[in-house]
Structure 1
Amino acid sequence: MSEMDKTIQGRTAVVTGAAGGIGAALAAELGARGMSVVVADIDGEGAKFVADKLTLDGVRALGVRVDVTDRESVQALRQAAYQEFGSVELLCNNAGVLLFGDIADSSIGDWRWLSAVNIEGMLNCLHAFLPDMRERTGWRHVMNTASTHAFLADPGHTSLYSATKHAILGMTLGLRSELAADDIGVTVLCPGQAATRIMDSQRNRPAAFGRKAPEPFGTGIIPMAIAPEEVARLAVEAVLRDAPMVFALPEHGYDMFRAQVEEMWRLADNALADRA
């Protein structure tokens, strides 16, 4: 065990969206480094399955069903976490959903669902866990999962999804500044092209948000992608370094992502030049 791992050994993490993909990988990575883990997901059976598997591996783990869009459900998650482990030192706001579609063709229900899960769900968890975290001392940290889409000048048929990830980026960087006085670290995780089921997000879409959006690329696992376990490793190491930001994408995507970020800067440079 490294010296950095000793920082989190014996502490407790809550990971939302943890029944599969990056969330499940985060729970496993944190458990392997000595943390107790609350595996939280709207898929309650999936959360319990992941927690039971971690328990067999010697990790103290608890599976809890949570709907992050529901404040009462998130408060129940908080109560379950404290009842089982007594404290929470790491909050990983990882629950998120994806839709494809042009803005003109998207429904208000599409936006409301995306923002309810990706943005308001994160806020519900922050409001539930931060008050107690701020009253404590010692190591504490928050990690919010955004996306490389938070940096794209041309998001390409994911404008609404990308808008929610821009919001997460802005709020996370602001939160890092706000919590500095409390000595609570904050990191934003920006995965790109990870091998998860995010294209099948609508399997958990409530009917209250209206008809399902088209799924032009299918609902399978993203191909030619970085493994969730590698995303989790990079993310946890960034948390232990108290890094403000961490990217996790396959190597073959580096050049394309750099070009996309450079396009964002080019647009800004051109706008500034227009004022000169």
Structure 2
Amino acid sequence: MVLPDHLSGTTAVVTGAAGGIGAALAIELASRGMSVVAADIDADGARQVADDLQAAGRSAIGVHVDVSDSESVRTLARRTHAEFGSVELLCNNAGVLLFGDVAESSLADWRWLASVNVEGLLNCLHAFLPGMRARQGWRHVLNTASTHAFLPDPRGTALYSATKHAIVALSLGLRGELGGEGIGVTVLCPGQVGTRILDSQRNRPTAYGERAGEPFGTGAIPMAIAPSRVARDAVEGVLRDAPVVFSLPEHGHAEFRSQVESMWQLTGDALRDHIGG
């Protein structure tokens, strides 16, 4: 099937774009004719992504942003509009991960995760949506969550999974709110992707306390798919206005389906106990 491509000549903002899925999204979107703002707390990394795109003849800039800081995000929005005039696609992709049991994790652990994964998304929406809503034509929001939002037993990632549950809920709610204005919303749920997410705490501010344990090290995720595959799945989902897009290795499909069915079973059992049937 050939998908309609509304992207050429429009502008995308991608947070978390210095590497991993964000960098892959920037490359994929630029290859489809979009001007790209690669934004990241890693300013050098974001600029390198933009420099590589420019060297390939694409329109791109790299900008520092700390999505947990609302003023930093507003500065990003001002820079973007000054450079390109409008934003048609907002990719809220910045995210961090840590491990730990719920009862043993600190409130600082939670606050750091939530400040980036949830509040960072909200900061970006607040900064960019007014301009998007004031325009006509094709506009879309892509929010990166995770397959962890659908796991019945997160096993050491419950705090992280909770933030990803929140992103799914916010995205589906936002989709209902913006649909009547012609703005689409897609939530991307990747799993096992070859990124540096295990080393998220390299950017953890000291204000959020000591680093949590890193039981799986800080290297690349094993048996993972390439970020470029996730980016293609995401963009194709955006173009068909999909509410939810999953992207994970084929070897994990059966296990993930089983996990989702276990979640459904919890709900089914509760409904049966409450209303019978």
**Is residue 137 of structure 1 aligned with residue 136 of structure 2?**
yes
**Distance in 2 separating the partners of 1:130 and 1:97:** 23
1:137 maps to a residue whose letter is Q
**Distance in 2 separating the partners of 1:268 and 1:242:** 28
Q: How do 1:204-219 and structure 2 match up within 5 A?
A: 204-219=203-218
**Distance in 2 separating the partners of 1:165 and 1:184:** 22
- Structure 2 residue ranges without an equivalent (≥5): none
**Distance in 2 separating the partners of 1:146 and 1:106:** 21
Partner SS for 2:86: coil
Spell out, residue by residue over 1:216-257, the C-alpha distance to the aligned partner (whole angstroms, 9 max, x if none). Answer: 000001010011000000000100111111000000000000
Q: How do 1:23-34 and structure 2 match up within 5 A?
A: 23-34=22-33
Counterpart of 1:202 in structure 2 is: 201
**Is residue 4 of structure 1 aligned with residue 7 of structure 2?**
no
Counterpart of 2:237 in structure 1 is: 238
Counterpart of 1:114 in structure 2 is: 113
Q: Percent identity?
A: 69
- Structure 1 residue ranges without an equivalent (≥5): none
**Distance in 1 separating the partners of 2:84 and 2:20:** 24
Partner SS for 1:105: coil
Partner SS for 2:62: strand
1:95 maps to a residue whose letter is A
**Distance in 1 separating the partners of 2:107 and 2:28:** 37
**Is residue 43 of structure 1 aligned with residue 52 of structure 2?**
no
Partner SS for 1:238: helix
Counterpart of 1:68 in structure 2 is: 67
In the TM superposition, residue 68 of structure 1 has moved relative to its aligned partner by 0.2
**Is residue 248 of structure 1 aligned with residue 247 of structure 2?**
yes
Q: How do 1:96-175 and structure 2 match up within 5 A?
A: 96-175=95-174
**Distance in 2 separating the partners of 1:184 and 1:65:** 26
Counterpart of 1:82 in structure 2 is: 81
**Distance in 2 separating the partners of 1:269 and 1:130:** 37
**Distance in 2 separating the partners of 1:90 and 1:56:** 23
Spell out, residue by residue over 1:148-169, the C-alpha distance to the aligned partner (whole angstroms, 9 max, x if none). Answer: 0011110110000000000000
In the TM superposition, residue 118 of structure 1 has moved relative to its aligned partner by 0.1
2:212 maps to a residue whose letter is A
**Distance in 1 separating the partners of 2:185 and 2:57:** 28
**Distance in 2 separating the partners of 1:255 and 1:100:** 24
In the TM superposition, residue 3 of structure 1 has moved relative to its aligned partner by 6.2
**Distance in 2 separating the partners of 1:173 and 1:253:** 25
> Which consecutive aligned stretches of 4+ in structure 1 deviate over 6 angstroms post-superposition?
none
1:19 maps to a residue whose letter is A
In the TM superposition, residue 92 of structure 1 has moved relative to its aligned partner by 0.1
**Distance in 2 separating the partners of 1:57 and 1:250:** 29
RMSD: 0.7
2:119 maps to a residue whose letter is E
Counterpart of 2:179 in structure 1 is: 180
Aligned residue pair count:
274
**Distance in 1 separating the partners of 2:271 and 2:232:** 39
TM-score by length of 1: 0.98
Counterpart of 2:94 in structure 1 is: 95
Counterpart of 1:52 in structure 2 is: 51
Contact 2:189–2:244 at 8 Å: present in 1 too? yes
In the TM superposition, residue 270 of structure 1 has moved relative to its aligned partner by 1.1
**Distance in 1 separating the partners of 2:39 and 2:177:** 26
2:4 maps to a residue whose letter is M
Spell out, residue by residue over 1:33-65, the C-alpha distance to the aligned partner (whole angstroms, 9 max, x if none). Answer: 000000000000000000000111111000000
TM-score by length of 2: 0.98
In the TM superposition, residue 269 of structure 1 has moved relative to its aligned partner by 1.1
Higher helix share: 1
**Distance in 2 separating the partners of 1:159 and 1:119:** 15
Contact 2:187–2:244 at 8 Å: present in 1 too? yes
